[in-house]
Chain A
Amino acid sequence: DSGVTQTPKHLITATGQRVTLRCSPRSGDLSVYWYQQSLDQGLQFLIQYYNGEERAKGNILERFSAQQFPDLHSELNLSSLELGDSALYFCASSVVTGELFFGEGSRLTVL
């Protein structure tokens, strides 16, 4: 158990809909990272937050947004969903620029 909690574990929705994925980092970790992993694909970095502020942005679509709240949990919002958005979405946390600890992921299926 990495200590990073993600909900929901599975989500099935339709094209055009909007979903929110939630992540609680390890106790004491200030940084939260979001990654997307499509079937048999590598980890694609989406966005990083540090203590509530956006720190780095990767290949995140304009239809996607994220935020980190004062209690350090983070949410990834995915809107106007397309079939190609079906993937595993991982959250990871780290306390300093060191190891990332990943959650178990949220599997999104868009039908």
Chain B
Amino acid sequence: EDQVTQSPEALRLQEGESSSLNCSYTVSGLRGLFWYRQDPGKGPEFLFTLYSAGEEKEKERLKATLTKKESFLHITAPKPEDSATYLCATYGQNFVFGPGTRLSVLP
């Protein structure tokens, strides 16, 4: 059975303090790994798709990387507006979402 876990469950950073979120997965025949941002009470917002190990994607202060068993979402010099829950999802036979990492960036 495909599984996706994320760590840490919650992360508090000071503004400007860079860090990384982890997504570990066990998927048969990975066809894509996705990162989403979700604000409270809102729908998840698509950020990145990664297809193969070694691939990297960047958007503003965010960079996503992929290995054969993990993906990382690196946040460089975060701002308070980056506070949200970040979800990782895989697509093999089906979409499987991780539980998310709740990020708080303090001014």
Contacts and interface: CB of A to CB of B under 8 A. Distances in A.
Interface of A: 2, 4, 33, 42-43, 45, 56, 58, 88, 90, 92, 97-105, 107
17 contacts: A2-B46, A4-B43, A42-B87, A42-B97, A42-B98, A42-B100, A43-B87, A90-B43, A90-B44, A92-B43, A97-B32, A99-B49, A100-B34, A104-B42, A104-B43, A105-B42, A107-B41
B100 A101 contact: no
Interface of A is mostly: loop
Query: Which of B32, B43, B96 neighbours the largest number of chain A CB atoms within 10 Å of its CB?
Result: B43
Interface of B is mostly: strand
Interface size class of B (residues with CB under 8 A): 20 to 34
